[in-house]
Structure formats: structure tokens, C-alpha cells
């Protein structure tokens, strides 16, 4: 009588384990991606390049995957997160700069004319960044970014911007790393704006973040050295700048690239035109209910050539509406 319950417990435990294993196997990787050709293409590619002895095997050192950030890893509407940061900084610093009231792009910023600022694109944004964020050390700037991110809220979702990350993409980053990939951000956004949060948010360390930058200089003041930020654009990591950034920082052509706008076109082109197995994917924002729907006519994240040429170039297009079961981690 004593052994029976024990046996039953063991049997129940075994059954439970079997169920869990089955459930895990059924869910497989990328649980927030719907079963379909996009998810299948990703998983199939990863299986092929990691199959030792297979015809498409790629050694781990060459498994480099690059991701755009704005609109690919986190939301970029109604404006780039970094633009929201810049607007807030301009407002905070305005009392010390009375001349900004009459000078663009500061005038638009202070008047709340977001469209006027956004029309300048990322390059305009970088001009604002250079004008308002120079003359401090990199450590001070990092502190400013971290404090702002903790306090700021997204105007539609009323949550910290760091919660506006795409759950399917977080799963994808983790899945690729579990398969020996080194994951990089290659963004038009500021490298020093992204580095303070990329490790915590995406598991991507600062040395794997590539972005636009202003120039810096090394200065020793009273025996204390610092990297000081200068009011001068250094590198614009957008469009044809992306392959240059990849080459400069990584020195090796990636085998996978993920983007969402025409600013990612050259990165996708450079990645997928190398020899051996290659994978390119465009996130298509076509979900006005859970996120936003925009492409050809948008000032932010404009996508036209990418959509037109994706089929002939063999790039996958992930429909946010159809390919993603969930968009944000906070969705039930």
C-alpha cells in the first residue's frame, strides 16, 4: 500500500514531463511568430547554417546577424524615440538659449511643430543632437539618457519607451544567439543614445552597437581623463552608410540582416549579396490596430524600394499583422 502512491506519483510526474516536453517541442522556437512561410524561412535558414557537415554550414565566428533598431526592434511612431529625447532636451535647455526661439530647427521644436522637425529626417535629428548634446563627457551623456528613459512615457501607450520593443524580435535575437550568432544593432540612431540600454533591453553589449555618431576627443583635466563630445557630426550610419559602418566595426560581412525601411536597403543588399547562405528580412508595419500601418508615404521609416525589390532579391517580408501573434511584451 505504501508503494502504490509512490509509483503513481512517479507515473504522474513522468506524464507531466512528457506533456511539457511535447508542448515545448510543439511551440518550438519563436513562439510569438505565427506558423507560416516567414517563420519557416528563418528557422530553416538557421538549421542549415548550423548543420555541421551540411552543405550550407557556417562556422560560428562568421554567424553575424545585423538588426536595424527603430521600427525593427522597437517602435518608431509617432516619432523616433531619440527625437522625443531631443525635443525634451531642447525644452529643458531652452532657458539658457533665448536665440533658439527664432532659429530652426529649435523654433519648430519649441513650438511643438513635430512634423516640421520630422521632415528633416534622421540627418536633421543628428544636427539637433550635435547642437544640444555636445560639450559634455560621454559618461555625463549616458547618465542623461538613462535618466530620461526611466522618466519618459510613450504618448500612445503611456509606458516607458523601453516597453515598446517587439516581442517576436526579442525571441529572434535570443534564438539566433542560442544558435551561435553574434547579434549587432546597425542603426541610423545615435550610438551613444543606444548603448546605455541595448545590453539590458536586447542582450546586445555596447561593442555590438553600431550607430551614427558625433566626434569625440580625449581630454585630461586636473588629472582626470574624459571622452568629450564635440558639436560635429562624425558618421551617419544610414542608407549607404550602413555597409560602411558594418565594415568599419565588424570587418566581416553579416549573413543575416533585419530592417524595416529604405534606410536599411543597402545593409540588406550588402548582407545578402555575399557568397554562401544569406538571409534578409523586412518588418512591414501593416498593423494599425496593435501598432501602426505605414510604408511608402511615411516620413518616419519610409519603405518603398524595399517592398518593390524584396521578391526579386529573395528577402522575406514579415507582416506585423499576419506573422506576429503578439507585438509587445505587455500584451496578454
All cell numbers assigned to 328: 509587445
Tally Cβ neighbours within 10 Å of residue 55.
7
* Cα dihedral 291/35/267/314 (nearest 10): -130
Span 92-151, contacts to a copy of itself by CB under 8 A: 138
CB of 105 to a copy of itself, least distance (A): 26
CB of 207 to a copy of itself, least distance (A): 5
Binding window for a copy of itself (CB under 8 A); candidates: 92-100, 210-218, 292-300, 315-323:
210-218
Place of cell 505565427: 34
CB of 229 to a copy of itself, least distance (A): 10
Percent helix, strand, coil in the chain (nearest 5)? 50, 20, 35
Q: Which is nearer to a copy of itself, 270 or 324 (CB)?
A: 270
Report the residue from 21, 147, 248, 288 that binds a copy of itself according to the rule CB under 8 A. Answer: 248
Q: How far apart are CA 80 and CA 74, in angstroms?
A: 10
Using CB under 8 A as the binding rule, whether residue 195 contacts a copy of itself is answered as yes
Using CB under 8 A as the binding rule, whether residue 305 contacts a copy of itself is answered as no
Q: How far apart are CA 310 and CA 219, in angstroms?
A: 47
CB of 119 to a copy of itself, least distance (A): 26
Binding window for a copy of itself (CB under 8 A); candidates: 50-58, 66-74, 75-83, 189-197:
189-197
Instruction: Give how far Cα 13 sits from Cα of 1, 10, 19, 24, 259, Å.
Output: 19, 5, 10, 16, 45
Q: How far apart are CA 149 and CA 198, in angstroms?
A: 12
Q: Which is nearer to a copy of itself, 7 or 220 (CB)?
A: 220
Strand duo 316-319 + 279-284: pairing: parallel
Report the residue from 37, 101, 247, 299 that binds a copy of itself according to the rule CB under 8 A. Answer: 247
Q: Which is nearer to a copy of itself, 250 or 293 (CB)?
A: 250
Residues 6+ apart with CB under 8 A from 273: none
Using CB under 8 A as the binding rule, whether residue 212 contacts a copy of itself is answered as no
CB 71 within 8 A of CB 260: yes
Using CB under 8 A as the binding rule, whether residue 269 contacts a copy of itself is answered as yes
Residues found near a copy of itself in the complex (CB under 8 A): 61, 138, 182, 191-192, 195, 199, 205-207, 209, 213, 216-218, 220, 224-225, 227, 240-241, 243-244, 247-252, 266, 269-270, 273
Amino acid at each position: 500500500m505504501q508503494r502504490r502512491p509512490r509509483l503513481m506519483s512517479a507515473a504522474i510526474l513522468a506524464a507531466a514531463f512528457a506533456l511539457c516536453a511535447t508542448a515545448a517541442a510543439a511551440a518550438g522556437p519563436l513562439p510569438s511568430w505565427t506558423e507560416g512561410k516567414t517563420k519557416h524561412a528563418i528557422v530553416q535558414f538557421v538549421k542549415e547554417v548550423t548543420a555541421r557537415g551540411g552543405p550550407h554550414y557556417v562556422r560560428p565566428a562568421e554567424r553575424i546577424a545585423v538588426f536595424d533598431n527603430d521600427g525593427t526592434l522597437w517602435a518608431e511612431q509617432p516619432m523616433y524615440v531619440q527625437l522625443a529625447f531631443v525635443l525634451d532636451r531642447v525644452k529643458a535647455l531652452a532657458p539658457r538659449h533665448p536665440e533658439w526661439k527664432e532659429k530652426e530647427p529649435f523654433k519648430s521644436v519649441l513650438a511643438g511643430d513635430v512634423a516640421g522637425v520630422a521632415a528633416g529626417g534622421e540627418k536633421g535629428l543628428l544636427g539637433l543632437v550635435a547642437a544640444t548634446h555636445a560639450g559634455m563627457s560621454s559618461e555625463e551623456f549616458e547618465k542623461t539618457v538613462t535618466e530620461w528613459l526611466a522618466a519618459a512615457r510613450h504618448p500612445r501607450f503611456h509606458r516607458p519607451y523601453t516597453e515598446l520593443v517587439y516581442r517576436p524580435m526579442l525571441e529572434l535575437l535570443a534564438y539566433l544567439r542560442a544558435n551561435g550568432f553574434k547579434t549587432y544593432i546597425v542603426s541610423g540612431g545615435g550610438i551613444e543614445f543606444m548603448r546605455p540600454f541595448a545590453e539590458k533591453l536586447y542582450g546586445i553589449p555596447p561593442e555590438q552597437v553600431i550607430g551614427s555618431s558625433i566626434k569625440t576627443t580625449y581630454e585630461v583635466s586636473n588629472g582626470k581623463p574624459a571622452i568629450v563630445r564635440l558639436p560635429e557630426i562624425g558618421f551617419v550610419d544610414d542608407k549607404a552608410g550602413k555597409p560602411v559602418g558594418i565594415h568599419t566595426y565588424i570587418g566581416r560581412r553579416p549573413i543575416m540582416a533585419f530592417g524595416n525601411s529604405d534606410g536599411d536597403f543597402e545593409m540588406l543588399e550588402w548582407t545578402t549579396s555575399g557568397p554562401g547562405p544569406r538571409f534578409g528580412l523586412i518588418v512591414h508595419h501593416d498593423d494599425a490596430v496593435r501598432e501602426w500601418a505605414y510604408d511608402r508615404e511615411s516620413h518616419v521609416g519610409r519603405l518603398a524600394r524595399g517592398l518593390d525589390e524584396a521578391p526579386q532579391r529573395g528577402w522575406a517580408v514579415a507582416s506585423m499583422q499576419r506573422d506576429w501573434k503578439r507585438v509587445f511584451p505587455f500584451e496578454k
